[in-house]
A and B are shown apart, each in its own frame.
Chain A
């Protein structure tokens, strides 16, 4: 008989066992994510051709046997560029989602649990950031100052963190007034233990679902920035940038213009679906009494 508290992973497994039936759409979303991850890890093996080889004779050609999705303005293979583009589509948004929530957890737990002046200070910062249109600010700063992709990712982390802080704080506040937290306090359990052994465990599930949603939004935002020519990852294909490069090809090879867009939408939609579903699973853990 073990008297150790359940680990985070065990908790997660327990919860997913509660909802044994996964909705059909979620299976599709998971499949999409799986393929995207495959593209990220094994782009060299999967892509038929190199993404950067130019072939000026075959430029702007519609789909053919050799180029399944045709070629772009510089004769590069669209399909290969799409596959390689998965890297930029995953790494940046992942950093933003995780980075934003790391800051969010630190600040949100402090604000929510410690309260008082810490809370007011943090919330004032949050309110200030909320009134700024993050995309435009990032656009202007990265556009003027330079710094490309890394700066864009960094600024987006900063842009996302107030919203994440607010979410974590709200959850922490909800938990903090629950009797079990008060019971732990009266027992004399040290604050650090309450936060890290109890609060985080209860707050984590909701946060995980939000991370998926944040990822989707970060993907959309980063591709928008790349589309506008700001914060483009150097040397590698980027779906947003591809869209900009190929939009004039809409008459010659519509696939070149449309497929990057579809890639963005499908990936973001899958992450959104998973995030929404997780949110519902975790939010309905509470029992219904009659």
Chain B
């Protein structure tokens, strides 16, 4: 019963997730055909539609063959990391992604750190100081955090800490590591705000509920130390509902990342996506969305594993009581 559950769990999840990924990839591929004007128009981009160019496009992209054959060709390319070329810049899609993914990764990680460092501790503090000013202050912050889209808080932060009080640089990604750190601080905060708010809300509610439960009162009556009660009893159990919301938190972070990259003019894959959408650069959009889909699936798998780690009842096949 000890370590066997982990590989079994992973296999079980993959059996669901991989088909899901395939279905999603079909939808991504199908985007090409959803463009108003037809796939040829989309693939031509700015070029003129002459019989020759049209025929060339049709041949190159196998547009005369049945849908599934086209999909299969495309999928073969994808598996070999060949997503085609950008219509807008003629650059290889994979090259474009590779150039920019570092910055987005840095931003994402920074935001994740902020969320992890502030989210749960603030939730615990709020629960422990119930109904005091500290608690009410934290709750007010969470309401604002959930109500403020990343671009709105981004611009506000920009104004306050970059223009009114020039602490941080305004736009752009920065040059070396420490410069990047300075440049990415405000964007990371803006991006993480709603995620932090969500985690604080759930942690606070979960901790408050656990602290009222019988097993906590029993433990206190036995003389268990306050520290053990908070961490070994309440928090450990409160983490279960928190892990259920991690997926949502992650989604907030992704959307936040895209928004702040636009706001702060950061050349990451988020802003690349937006530019590509506006230019109807199909191959680029397909490549980016596919990368995102794989990433999301991987993160969901990790969350599922985390959930089983946190709640032993899941490992034994029992639903939580």
Contacts and interface: CB of A to CB of B under 8 A. Distances in A.
Interface stretch (A67-75, A88-96, A134-142, A203-211): A134-142
A265 B147 contact: yes
Interface stretch (A11-19, A108-116, A181-189, A250-258): A250-258
A83 interface: no
B258 interface: yes
A131 to B, nearest CB: 6
Interface string B271-305: 00110011010100100010010001100100000
Nearest to B271: A228
Most A CB contacts (10 A, CB to CB) among B35, B143, B273, B289 go to: B143
A150 interface: no
A247 interface: yes
The B interface, classified by DSSP as helix, strand, loop or mixed, is helix
Contacts of A240: 149, 151
A128 interface: yes
B143 A272 contact: yes
A220 B31 CA distance: 26
Contacts of A143: 277-278
A125 to B, nearest CB: 13
Most B CB contacts (10 A, CB to CB) among A254, A265, A266 go to: A265
B240 interface: no
A243 B155 contact: yes
B34 interface: yes
A97 interface: no
Contacts, number: 121
Interface of B: 20, 24, 31, 34-36, 143-144, 146-153, 155-156, 158-159, 163, 247, 251, 254-255, 258-259, 262-263, 273-274, 277-278, 280, 282, 285, 289, 292, 296-297, 300
Given A136-B254, A273-B143, A250 B262 contact: no
Contacts of A135: 251, 255
B251 to A, nearest CB: 5
A63 to B, nearest CB: 15
A107 interface: no
A156 interface: no
Nearest to A247: B155
Given A136-B258, A140-B285, A220 B155 contact: no
Interface residues of A, number: 45
A144 B144 contact: no
Interface of A: 128, 130-136, 139-141, 143-146, 216-217, 220-221, 223-224, 227-230, 240, 243-244, 247, 250-251, 254, 257-258, 260-262, 264-266, 268-269, 272-273, 276
Contacts of B143: 269, 272-273, 276
A239 to B, nearest CB: 9
B89 to A, nearest CB: 18
B155 A133 contact: no
Given A131-B296, A272-B147, A139 B36 contact: no
Contacts of A273: 143
Given A135-B255, A269-B147, A140 B31 contact: yes
Nearest to A220: B149
Nearest to A139: B277
Given A131-B300, A230-B277, A216 B147 contact: yes
A26 to B, nearest CB: 12
Contacts of A268: 146-148
Contact of B163 (A251, A272, A276): A251
A244 B150 CA distance: 12
Nearest to B28: A140
Contacts of A250: 155, 158-159, 163
B321 to A, nearest CB: 15
A136 B291 CA distance: 13
Nearest to B148: A265
Most B CB contacts (10 A, CB to CB) among A223, A250, A251 go to: A250
26 contacts: A133-B254, A135-B251, A136-B292, A141-B34, A143-B277, A143-B278, A144-B31, A144-B280, A146-B36, A221-B149, A223-B152, A224-B149, A227-B149, A228-B258, A240-B149, A240-B151, A243-B151, A250-B159, A254-B159, A254-B163, A257-B159, A264-B148, A268-B146, A269-B144, A269-B147, A273-B143
A91 B86 CA distance: 37
A141 B147 CA distance: 25
A182 B247 CA distance: 36
Contacts of A216: 146-147
Contacts of B300: 131
Contact of A261 (B20, B152, B296): B152
When A and B form their complex, which 5 residue pairs have the shortest distance between CB atoms, in order from nearest? A261-B152, A268-B147, A143-B277, A269-B147, A135-B255
B144 A265 contact: yes
Given A140-B285, A257-B155, A224 B259 contact: yes
Contact of A133 (B20, B150, B251, B262): B251
Nearest to A254: B159
Contacts of B146: 216-217, 220, 268, 272
Contacts of B31: 140-141, 144
Contacts of A229: 274, 278
A240 to B, nearest CB: 8
A133 B255 CA distance: 8
B277 A144 contact: yes
Contacts of A258: 155-156, 159
A268 B145 CA distance: 10
A15 B320 CA distance: 32
